[in-house]
Structure formats: structure tokens, C-alpha cells
Structure 1
Amino acid sequence: CGESRNDPILRSFDGMRYPFQLAGEFVLAQTKGLDIQVRYQPISNTASFTSVLALRYDKHVVTFKAGSNSVWIDREVHDLDINAPHLVTKNLAIVLEGNKFAVLAGRQRLYVAVHSSRLDVRVQPAPGSQGEWKGLLGNYNGDSGDLSTREGKVIDIRDDEVRRKQYGDSWRLSQAESFLPYVDDQTTETFTDRSHPTSSFKLSDLDDKKFQELAALCKKNGVSGSAALHGCIYDLGASGDMSLASTYANSLPVLGVLETADTGGEVAVRVPATVAAGGTLPVFWFGPAKARKKLTLRDDKGKVVSRTSIGRKSPRTWLAPTTAGTYTLELDAGGTKASTKLVVEPITVSLEAPKAVDGAATVEVTIKGAEQSNGYVGLLPPKQSNLKKRLTTWRASRSGKVSINAPARAGTYTLVFTVRGSNGERVLATRPLEVSAARATVEHSAAVEAGAFIELEINGPRARGDVVALFAGKDLVARLDAGRTPPKLRAPAITGTYKLRYIANAADGKAVLAESVLKVTPASASIDAPDTVAGGAPFEVELKGPLRSGDLLALLPPGQEALSKSVIRRPAVARTTLRAPYEPGTYQLHYVLADSRRLGKTIARRTLRVTPGAKRPKATDRPGAVPIDGKLPNLDLKGAQLKGFGSSKVERVVFKVPKSVEARSLLQIKMDVTGKIGLGDFIEIALKGSKKPAFRVPAMSAQFPVPMPDKPGTYELRYVALIDLRTKATKVVTTSVVQVTPGAKITVKSPSTAAAGRRFEVTVTGTPGMGTLILIVKPEVKT
């Protein structure tokens, strides 16, 4: 992603960050079909803000302005509903979320955060568009060091003079190319000030007192994280506007950290005045970029607590010590040293959890007072205090809540909360946890038919990671999430005696809490079909058997037993019509019983003799290029001329479709064709008298069902022939009127409650149609 934010700091698509406090109008980013322009206006003698951003896509211009949650589309103002997509065209959509806009322009995405005095923008290029961009955000070629002028000259972006004059001026807008908004006699020159900024700003310009003042203000406004804190302190120092700190909570997320400029021989180190024990500590340093740098932390007695090397990026994120006190942080940059004081504040932590739980059950632990620490919750075995003997460890979340699985064995365990800092790990809170022995039962019928679903009644912890598993000896055959509702497991296709086990994912390891025997009995089926059929001819097949979901009817060629070699494969239903292969031979029809491993087992078979019959049709002899047995004929394109190649040879078409169909249903199009179907012929359906089709499919794909429109009405089914591939001239060969009636009302039934993270059944009635989704959203969310 590339971005322009704050005063402004730019980040190229390839990851280079650099300050760009110029004033005027510029090309931010540009690629085929999409142009993004910005207006930067001064707010002080050292900084400027993005006041206006405009993008042009699909012949439309969309404009955003600082301080306004409105959007201008082709110079007309629009107030968007929260979370409701606004479609400018089918390829250009805008969504407002709070103070942030999300824009989808084809496969490119833009995110614009609106503040009272500025805009922040992020641009996400389309996949596969490397090297196709230009502008202030770079060319997106993977090389962060090749930012170039509009003329293509690569420059050193760290050089202030080059960045301002050669680089910045080359990307300024001319009046002819600008599509930014103006009023009265304004032009792009109205906003151009080549003398800005009149002075430069660096964090090293701040003394320690001012740095601590700005850092405290940023943290008070909820700014956390090294990169965000860096940006906040920099903006406040450069602009002098202290109100900017409050805008960071609603800004775009920060990506990465800033590259540190070379400050020559000057060396300094800055940290926030206070930090919680074990908390994250951003260390800001200034000094020669190429010098080897080392940080040393000493306690109040001068003893070294921790030491680390740092790279070229500032701030460097470090962990504060776990012991409260006053420390000294030293920076050694190639022999030149600087230091600063750091106060580590104590934190008081307590753990809230049940006093007693069942073995292997889920335990909810609440951590109080650890919001600013790098904390972990662990579980120690009975009579054990060594942290290395912990059964398991969970990272404390920002919410202060952790869900853990209790041990399966009974005993008095200890919950411990620890923080990890630059001086190691320290225990801050403990709590006893009484665990009773884990128990579970799985009830089911003693015997079940092969391939059938096993109805289970599960009683047990049903914690995260628990499973009910089916074993044949030591081999796992099938398994089911123990918390799934309803709990159903499919029996294997192979008969025999199996073991069904409840396996708990306990803190002290996997534990089998219940085991029972399950007998799988044979399943039977029969196939009724003719003994002999001519090649290419249709024939009927009747099946008797389980006919369950997943069961298959397969036709295998001579000498083949593997299901993957089948020439026909269909779901097993009571009666179906198949078309015989064109190649003569002795084939076999198989009834394949599905099982939990999806391997399948043939439980019935019948021999089918195919005699010479119809010849295999060519691709253009009938609608549908792929014959019934799935083999695609070769097309000889040698010497084919563009003119007339693929042109339609259809003389007459008669549709065989019902007079009325339900909206959103699938229509199987049948037709009699005189002549040969062209490669560019298509079938479309449109409201009667309308030129705009509701859908369109290639004529050669007409053997597949096609979806009907959502809107009821009188429609025309049209066969459109391509007359000339070069000119794309077409003609309507025939039409047929189809009445689309309202589809059956869609209803959805589901349980009123469901356990978090568990499966539940949903029943849909009516005519949903292709592409229909079932969404789970909160009541306040608009879909």
C-alpha cells in the first residue's frame, strides 16, 4: 500500500517513507484508468496538510474535502448513509464508515480518513499491476530506492533540496491536467507556493522536556504503538497545533515505522518519561545512520539490566524491565554516547476465575490491571512453582480475557500471570484452581448401516479442540468437533467393528474420556438398466439402495475399477437418464457408497454393453462443445482467416422452453437448430422491448441451466448470431416470449440461540436462486 498522511508523510508502494511538506497540487498516484490528485496547503512554516483529494475513474471524478463527510461526484455533493455502498458505476463504489471512506475503483482500493483540518489517504494497487504506476507514491516495482521525477530520473529522496525542487516540482499539476475543484478565479497557481516550507523540522530539534510533553499528550489521546507515537509527536512538533493529537484515534492504521534521517555527528536518545513494568517501550534515537548503534539499560546502581543492538529504523521497540524503578538508557553510536532517564512504574494485577471447574472444561480468566503490560497466563501443576513446568501459556489479550482448557486430571493447580521484559520474566499474580476429574459419555446405537449417519448424544466438556473420533484399530477413520450441533458422524463404507472415542484437548495433553464399540453392517443396492445400448444413445437407469447424499452412480470403461477413471459420474437418485459413450465396449455401472473418508465403496454393479452407434459430434455440430463423456474434440485452426472465422451458420432456431418460469429459478434451455452454431453466438433474456439483457450465455453452453431474473415480468428469450467476427456484427435469429412469475417466498429457519463458534442448521425454503447468500450480522448492521 501507498499512503499520504498527517503533515504529510508519504509512503511509497514499495515501502519508502519520506516527508513531503510542500504546498500546491500534485499527482499522488496514476495508473491505467485511475488518476489520484491531492492539494497540500500550509499550516505552519514547516508543515502542510492534505485539504482536498480527487480521483478520476470510469469517466467520473470523486472528490473528498477535509472537515466534510460529504463526497462530491462529478461536482455534485452526496451525503452517504453509513455502511451503505454507493454505486457510481458497476466498477466504482464508495462506502462511508464513521469518518472513513472506502473506495473500490475496479481492482484498486482507496481508504480516505476525514479529519477537521486534513485528509489521510491509503492506496492499495490491484494485484498484478507492478510497474504500472507513477506519481509521488512511486512505480510499485518492488524497489523502494528508485523514486523518480515525472521525466523518469531517479533521485535521492533523502536530499531536501532535490526532493523539493527536482522531485516535487516535477509532479506538480498543470492547469490542463487538474480535475481538482476551484471557485471563482482560482487556478492551480492559487495554491502553489514554491517557497514552502521556509524551514525544516526533525524530532531531534525537540529538547527532552518538549519531547516528554508531546509524548504525554499523544498517549493521553489514546495513541499507542511506536510508529503511531512517532507520527503524533512529529506532527505536533512540526505544526505547533496541539489539537491534532485528538485526531489520531480516528486515523488510518499506521503501517510500519519511519526511516531515520542521517543527523550527522549529533547523537540523542528519547523515550516516554514513564512506562508500565513489562510494557512496550518505543526508543527514539538520532545519530549517524551508518554508525553501529547499541542500547544499554542500567538500574539506579549502574548495573547493566539489558543490552541490544539497533538497526537503521527509529523508533526501536523494546520491552521495559519487569521491576519498577528508575533506569538509565544509554545510546552508543560509533563511540559517541547519549543517555536519558526512564521511570518504570509498578503494576498491580489480579486474576478472576472460578474456584473449581470440571476437568478439561473451558475456563474463563479475567486479568485486571494488565492493560499496559506484556503479559501471559500460565497453568502450573499441583505443588509446582517452576515456570518452566507450566502445562501451557496464553498471551493476554487487550480485552483482559483469556479462555483456557482445564487439565483432565484432578488436582489443585495454580493460574499464574507473568510479564516478560528486557530483564526476563516475573510473576505478578497467582490464583488456585481446583479441578475435578474429567468425564464424558457418547451415546449411540450399537449398530449402523455402512455409509449411514450416526446419531450421537454427547455429554462432556465440549471445549475448544475436543473431538469425537472413530477408529479402526489404531487408524483414525473419521472425527467430529465435539461441540458441533447437531452431532452427526457418517459411518464408513467398510463393514466391521470400530471404536468411538471422546478425546479432550486438555491442558495436560490429549485425554480419552469415553470409549464405546460401534458395529457397521453391510448396505445393499441394485441397478436396473438395459443390457445393451447403442453408442451415443440415451438410456434409463433405476437404482434401489440408501440413495444418501454423496452416494454416486458411475460408469467405468472396460478394465477399470478406479472411480477417477469413470466416464460418467452422477448423484445416486431413484431414476435418471444417461447417454452412452460413443466408443463401443463392455462398461460397468457402479453404485458407490459414500463414507466419512470420501473414498467410497462399490456395493452394486451391472454390466452395460455399448454397441457401435452414432458418431461423436464435432464441436460446432450441436449446442455444447463438450460431448457427454467429457472428451473435447480437436479443432483444426490451420489456415483459418479472421474474416468469417467463427461466424454463425445458423439458419433457424426453435426454442423449447416453458411459457412461464419462477423468478430466480434455473431454466434448462432446449432448442432445435438448423445449420451450425458459431463460436460467437449467444442466447440472452431481456424484458420485452428492452435492449439491455438480464443475462447472456454462449450458445454452445446452452446445455447448462441458466438463472432467471429476480424481477417478474414478460421477457424475451433471444438467439443472437455473430455474423462477422471482425466487425462484431450480430443479428437476432429468433425470439420466444417467457413469462417470469414471482418466485416462492424465501423463508429462513434457524435456532434462536447457538453457542459461539459452533455449527447449527439453517433451513431455507422458496426459490433462493444462484448467488444467494446467508449472512450472520449484528442487528444494527445494514446489509
Structure 2
Amino acid sequence: MIVFDGSNSMWGQIEGTAKIEIAQGVMDNLLGDWTESRRVGLMAYGHRRRGDCTDIETIVAPGDGTRADILDRIGGVTPTGKTPLTSAVEQAATELSYTDTPATVVLISDGLESCDRDPCALAETLEKGGVGFTAHVVGFGLGDADAGALSCLAERTGGQYIAAGNAEELGQAFSAVATAVSEPEPEPEPEPERPEVIVTGPETAPAGSLVRVGWDKTLDNRNYVTIVPAGADAGEYGNYIRVKDRSEGDLRAPADTGMYELRYMTDEGDKVLGTAAIEITEPAVTLSGPETALAGELFPVEWTGAVHGRDYITIVAMGAEDGSHINYFRVKDRSRNKLRAPAEPGLYELRYVLEEGERTMASQAIEITEPEVTLSGPETALAGELFPVEWTGAVHGRDYITIVAMGAEDGSHINYFRVKDRSRNKLRAPAEPGLYELRYVLEEGERTMASQAIEITEPEVTLSGPETALAGELFPVEWTGAVHGRDYITIVAMGAEDGSHINYFRVKDRSRNKLRAPAEPGLYELRYVLEEGERTMASQAIEITEPAVTLSGPETALAGELFPVEWTGTVHGRDYITIVAMGAEDGSHINYFRVKDRSRNKLRAPAEPGLYELRYVLEEGERTMASQAIEITEPAVTLSGPETALAGELFPVEWTGTVHGRDYITIVAMGAEDGSHINYFRVKDRSRNKLRAPAEPGLYELRYVLEEGERTMASQTIEITEPEVTLTGPDEIRAGTEATIEWTGAVHGRDYITIVPVGAEEGSHGEYFRVKDRSRQTMQAPEKPGLYELRYVLEEGKRTMARHKIEILAADAPLESGASLSAPETAAPGAEIDVGWEVETESGDQRITLARGNQAIFTWLEAIKISGEPPVKLTLPEEPGMYELRFLDVANQAVLSRKVIKVE
């Protein structure tokens, strides 16, 4: 199929002639003699409508003898629209049935894809999915930069891409494509023979067992090995396992005996690639148990010849169908276990059943007989009480004893307990008086094995308390005739439904206690309530009255201060006194304290000035019993400190108008939010103190902050400046020896001087000492030779304020002398630098070398022998890092000078 570009860009001219005319004029170069033996068609795109990415037309359908028709019709193509070349090639391939037969497409285009498709991705798809698909591409008038976007169509499908820049080159390109197309289509490669897989397995295996199967190769992880009857059709399968990335696995044998085949099969097409014969034999299973067992009991069973752990032993009615079961258990890796007998007496069978196919492999008859159970309890009991019960002949620990209404159906229960391994226990009586039954019930089948009648009678309970009580107070209550310790006494609104409660307590083993009155005055009831059924057994009316509470405090207080409060008429120690915004809802609080057994205390004022209320609030119901207005006013606080301070130093601060000892003075970044702080101290009962400056220089604020609400009451600007710290020490020293370190400009006595390897992270430290009030100190050098750094570090922020490089030499190394080196401290990777020197002595072999910092003395990366006047030029490595320049007297094996240089 020829796919011809009819897009608007074909009107472009080459040497004064439109590209469409040039292409139409040399078309016969493409349509040579080869068209007589091939089916050829013509497709064009972009030749009918503007801006339409679907403008693709098959002008001449592929067929025999179409050359003349194509040459005639090509002249009617008028460039008009877009360039949907990817869709056109895809449509041409589809019309040629490229997935079933070899297909060739010749694309002629002067432009790139303009309809958001990727021709390279299409080429991948056509190559993978096609049967001998080839695309040849002629790029007409395309620049080199654009050619790659089209050439991939040809390159990825085995075709040719030919660029043409004028009429002559286009004619030559068409001729070259004609030659390529005229070559006979290659014969499709024969389908490779399917590889054989060797399958291995045992010659025999018991029915239902796991069979270990092997295979010598895995062709696809989703292939599978199955077991089928000998001679089964290809494609059939029974139990199977996926081969995954293994070479063996366990396969479940069928339940039926006979001759079978193990087969390795492909997941795609279910083709058989390997087989092995196997005979499935009858398992030798035995089963034994007692001849009789009691209904519902656990009885012992033993077996031999277990086939698979998920086989099971069950009990079924005599003659039941295979696959039936009542109670059962899996055999797992055991040879004995216990099985639960059914609830109904009669003739049954024990069976060993294969999980595979549910075939019965062994069985034994068993008779289930009636248990002899007795049950005894009192003839009467009080509603809700615990009463004693005894029994004999327990069948199973999960059987239960219950109490039910007389004549209730089997399986009913009100209160109950499991018998476990006991012969006596206590049972809770129902709440309602009447005639009931005690029953011993098998868990298995919920059959009643023994019963006894019992009458539940009304308890005689009395309850007494005061006729009145204050809202929220604890008042005394007494009672007699308690039925159960979890019964409770409560107070409820007069006439409330049974089961209602406001405040309550459990009676336990007491006959008196205190109960909290509700917060709201009114008529209420005291009630004794059974936990069982929540029945009210006794009650008494009580009136809850309003307490007489008074509250007094100052008319004004400063924001954040502690001010005195007094009160009378305390109701309960957990009532509280609070301060709230004027008119706030009941239950609101800002600051508060519990009244306990006091009549006066201090309360913290809020941080914000304004009108507030003091309130006495009952804990019960959070009702306000007394209140007083109070105005919170602004404190007059002043704060002063220096205009500047050094980073990390302690500087003096003074203040007046302290509100509370837990207020604090802090330093924060200029403009920081209220409540921010860096370093701070509590004001306590002082008016001056020292504050630590931050580690970073900049503009900051000193602030006096109320602890209450973290409000700033006073502030002052302060500038933190950089300290001028110097640090000196030796340039080199032997390992383990002592060096004298000196410094100036110490900021704080807890600042420290440390020695660390060059390049160690900020904040690292090795050996160190605090500077205290000194200006010099000795320090022992590290034991490991190398390049190190002395650092003066602020304790505040762990900032390094001064550094001094020091080289630790081997303990027996000669110290450098007799020369000096001059070179830059730092330079760029690969840079050429000048190195100068001064030397006191001469010898036959003096060199300047460049080495890594940890490199042995007489080894180097680069060396220059001294033969003239300084300086010499030396090229630095490309790799950043710490390096060392060395002046070596090689003849005398001496190090005369060295200098560190950083490449960055």
C-alpha cells in the first residue's frame, strides 16, 4: 500500500515547483515492473478537509494490475489539511491484514505527524504484532532534525528511510524503494517445535495423598502439572499445580484408584509437553473407637494410615451417604483424638473420610446412649439473688445449667453457667417472681438432660434517706434486705421509668452509703434497683433544694495575676470557682480551682483585659450557684536591656511591674509571633537577671511574657552581633604529644575548643575542653596521623567561631623545617596554580609534590623537580577535596615544608 501525503504543506516549493507536482511527476519511478506480480493500492491523507485528523482515504484498493489506475488517480490529490500519517500507516496495515499475512507500506511525506500520535510507538506495535510487516519511508524536503521522527517507522520494521531534497533525488528515492519492494517476500519462519519436558513422579501413590512431582525445565511460570486418567484427551485436567519458578511440587492424588498420567501443560493453549504414568492405589487406613458413648460426650478415636492432614474423622447416622457428617475433626499429623457424640441416642458410624473426593476409607459402628444426669436446687429463691445448684453425671464441661420459665422450649435460657469440671455452683434468679425450671442442658444439640421446678419470690427490701438534700451534696442512704451486691441505689426524677438513673452506687455488702444529689432542685425518688432486670424493689421521695452559696473577690485585678477569692456555703469539695467572660454560658471556664474544704484561695486572672465574672459552680450539673463581676486591667510592665550583644553571650536584663513569678523574659527573632521563644528565664521574685543571646547574628526582640495566655507585656529591640574570636596553635605536631592552644574573644565560659578531622560536620567534636575564663590551654594531639582542625565552638547553637588547621604527624616523623611554600588556600577542580617557595639548603633532588591529605609522605599525585626560580605551575585534580602541597628533599628523605589546599 502506497500512503501519499496530501496535506497542505505539499504546496511548498522546491526550485520554483510545488512539492505535490514533483511527487506526482516521478510516481512512475516507484510503480515499476514489480506491480505486475503484486497486489498494490493507494491511500492518501489530508487531501479533502482542513483540520481533520480523520481525513484518510483508500483511493485505490489493493489489487492486481492497479498501476495505471494509481498513476491516473494520484494526479487528483489536492493538498488541503493536516498530516495524520501515523493513523494512515496503521489503517493501511489493517487493510493489508498485517497480523495474518506479510504486508508492505510505502509512506511518502513532506512533514511530521500533526495529530498527536507517535509513529515510533506504532512501528513497535506493527513489528511485534505483524507477520513480516515492513514500512519504507520517503522523507521529501525534511531537515535532518526532523528525519528521526519518521525514520523510526522504517528502522523498527526492517524497511528503508530515504531522504529527498529535490525532484531528482525524489525520483532516485522512488526507484530505490521500488527495488526494495520488488524483492520477494521472505518465507515465514517455521513454527518452532515445542520443547519436550521430562516429567518425573512415583510409579504409585495412595488415593488422596500428596504426590511429589518433578519437571526438568520451566518454560513459563503459569504452565502447570496436572493428573488425569490414562488416555484422557489433550486439554483435560484434574488436580493441578502451577510450575512457577520451581522444578518440583506436591500434587494431590485423585480419590479414585486406577491408572493415571502426570502431565506438564502450557497455560496458553493447554498443550501437553511431557507425561509420566502413575497408578493410584487404595490407602490402607484403620479406624477404632469405643462400641458405645454417652450422648454429647467427648470419646477417644484412633486411626492408622492417614493419607492427608485435611482428611477428617466424623460420626454419622448408620448408613448415611458418603460426604455426610455431624461432628468431625481434621486428622492433621495425629493418630488419636476425641470426637463429640451427637445429642440423640441411637446407632451411628465412625468414618475416616478423604478430603479429596470425600471417600470413606474406614468405618466402625458405635451406639450413642442416654446419659444419667441429676440436678438439684432450692424449691424457692428471691428474685435477683444467687442461689446454689448441684448436679451429677456431667457429660461435657461446656454443658450448661440454666433457669427458664416453667414449660419453656428446649434451648431457651435466661441466666446460665457452664458446668466445666464442677458439681456445684450458684445461679442468678430472674427479676420477676413466678414458677421456673432449673435445667441441665447438653451443649451438643441443646437437649435437656435433667430439670427441677423452682419458685422465685419477691424480696423484702427497705430504703431510707433524708426528706430533703441540697443540690449537688452527698447525703446518707440506708437499706435492708439487699439481694445482690451489684444491685444499686439511685436518685431519679419523681415518676421516672424503671431502669432510669441519674447518680447511683452499687450496694455491695453494705447497708449504708452516701449518694450525690442532682444539680437541679425539685422532687425526686430514691430507688433500690435489682441489677437483674432493673426492677425497683423499694423507693422513697426526696426534695432537692437550692444551696445558699456566697462568693466575693476584688473588683479589679491585673491580667495574669493571682488574686484572692472567698466563699461560703460549700456544697461539695469538687465544686469549683472559675473566672469567665461576662455573660458566658454555664459550664464555661478559663482558670479555676476546686473548693475542697477551704473558704478562700487565689485564682489566676486571664491574660486579656476586660469585664469578667467570678463563679461558684457545682461539679454536679455544672450549675452556677453564685457570681460576682470583676474587671481585669492591663499591667504596667517595663523591660530594659543592652542595644547589642554578642552571639552566645550572657547579657543583663532588668524589668519592673512583675505580674507573676512564672512570667518569663525571652529573646525572639524580630516580629516573631506571641508565644515564641528561643532562650528564656522565669522572672520569679527578681527584677534583674542574665539572658543567653542566640547563636545567629541579627535583629531580635527582648520580651516580658505573661505565663497566662503568653501575652507580651513589654519588649525592646536588640541586635545580636558576630563575636570576634581568634584561635591559634601549631601547624603540625606529632601524634599523641601536647600542643598549646591560644584564643581571644571568648564569649562564654562553656564554649569549647575541640579537634576534629578536616571536613567533619559542624557540631562534631573529638577531644575538647571548655574555655572557662582562660585564654590558653594545652591539648593532647590525636593518635592517628592526618589533617585536623582546631575549632572554637559556641555552646549556644554549637556554631564554629574560629578555626585553625593542624597536621598530626606520625609519632616518629621529622617536623618540617628549612623551607616554606606559598600557594592559594582554595582553587577550582582542574585549575592551574602557581606554587612559590623559599628554601635554606640545596640538594641534588628537591621536589614540590601534590598528594591527598592522608597519602604517605613520599608518594604523590603529581611531582615537579626544582630546577629554576619560583614559581612553578601545577594542575589540580578534577575531584574536589582536601589536598597537600609538600616541599620534599628526596635525596635526604626530609620534609621541608607542607601546605594544605582545598579543591572545590
Give the TM-score taking structure 1 as reference length: 0.42
Tell me which structure has the larger Cα radius of gyration: 2
Give the TM-score taking structure 2 as reference length: 0.37
